[in-house]
Amino acid sequence: MSAPVAAIDCGTNSIRLLIARRDEASGRLVDLERELEMVRLGLGVDRTGRFDPVAVERTLAAARRYRELIEHHGVSVQDVRFVATSATRDASNRDLFIDGIQEILGVEPEVISGQEEAALSFRGAVSTVADLPPGPHLVVDIGGGSTELVLGTDAPSHRISMDIGSVRMTERHLQSDPPTAAEIAAATADIDAHLDRAAAAVPLEGATALVGVAGTVTTVTAVMAGIEDYRPDVTHGAAATVDEVRRTCATLLGETREQRGRRRIIHPGRIDVIGAGALIWSRIVERVAQAAGLSETRTSEHDILDGLALDLLDRVP
């Protein structure tokens, strides 16, 4: 086994940690810790362009807990990588967050571009889903603030980051409970306009498989599977028809927050934004299925965190 590395991904809605080693015989990652906390760092950033200090403190508190796990597993500082994505790219007072993380973990957060985020998600996803047809594969990473599309076979050939995410679309359009028809129509038009631009940059018609990653997609998949408790062995690699995705997403979008809250599988930190995430996923699935003639989707529980860990391990002598 290799020495352990620690990857941290801080997005608009959540902060996640993966501590892993590489099995030298198989080349695969072996998880030591995989943690998630819903901190909503990007709360209000789309409207104000600034971080809420309370949200920053929630995130720093999670980082302190992650530091204890990193130290417990004896991970060297040089083997820790912390990336921050959509919300941090947009916040004018990002130094409040960056300086705090550096003080706690001893590493400077990397505010990575949407392009690099897409590449890391692609590597993490396609390296772990079995029985995919020969490429190119389209990986979709729906976050709180942005959504990445990346197409490739062994490595990305086309990629784009769109400023549509579950938190951003909720704050921008879906404010009623449940959302009104007019709000859904406005959100749909916004998403479709971004997809029009994406289709000009990424040849969706060339995709042989559509793989969704991250919390929105895994939650939708878990709801389809009818499970009440988190079971990555059930959701990872799961296939779903386009019609199944469409129906489940429409159900989640139309429910009240109270109704979603009765579904134990939905993390409390996603209850208010999963409707918007489901709408984004549904629109992407329909667009790609029509363009590429695909009839099903696949889900991966592995994404940017795994890509980060693999990248770190590649750097270790």
Whether the per-residue pLDDT at 72 is higher than 60: the answer is yes
Percent of the chain with pLDDT over 70: 97
In this prediction, residue 317 carries a pLDDT of: 56
Beta bridge partners of 156: 152
CB 189 within 8 A of CB 277: no
Whether the per-residue pLDDT at 1 is higher than 70: the answer is no
| Span 136-162, pLDDT tens digits | 999 998 988 889 899 998 888 899 889
Q: Measured between alpha carbons, how far is 212 from 4 in angstroms, rounded to an integer?
A: 27
Comparing 92 with 208, the larger pLDDT belongs to: 208
Which residues make Cβ contacts (< 8 Å) with residue 153, sequence separation at least 6? 134, 135, 136, 137
pTM of the model: 0.80
- Residue 66's Cβ-count burial label (10 Å; 0-12, 13-18, 19+) is buried
Task: Tell me the average pLDDT across 104-130.
Answer: 83
5-113: what CATH class?
alpha beta
Comparing 5 with 317, the larger pLDDT belongs to: 5
Percent of the chain with pLDDT over 90: 57
- Confidence band (pLDDT; 50, 70, 90) for 23? confident
Name the fold adopted by 129-300. Answer: Nucleotidyltransferase; domain 5 (3.30.420)
Q: Measured between alpha carbons, how far is 263 from 222 in angstroms, rounded to an integer?
A: 10
Every domain range in the chain assigned CATH 3.30.420.150: 129-300
What number of other Cβ atoms are within 10 A of residue 92's Cβ? 10
In this prediction, residue 75 carries a pLDDT of: 95
Every domain range in the chain assigned CATH 3.30.420.40: 5-113
Task: Tell me the average pLDDT across 116-124.
Answer: 81
Whether the per-residue pLDDT at 87 is higher than 70: the answer is no
Task: Tell me the average pLDDT across 271-292.
Answer: 95
In this prediction, residue 200 carries a pLDDT of: 93
In this prediction, residue 233 carries a pLDDT of: 85
Task: Tell me the average pLDDT across 25-53.
Answer: 83
- Confidence band (pLDDT; 50, 70, 90) for 76? very high
Q: Measured between alpha carbons, how far is 20 from 215 in angstroms, rounded to an integer?
A: 20
Whether the per-residue pLDDT at 225 is higher than 80: the answer is yes
Q: Average per-residue pLDDT in the chain?
A: 89
Q: Measured between alpha carbons, how far is 261 from 270 in angstroms, rounded to an integer?
A: 9
In this prediction, residue 86 carries a pLDDT of: 59
Which residues make Cβ contacts (< 8 Å) with residue 26, sequence separation at least 6? none
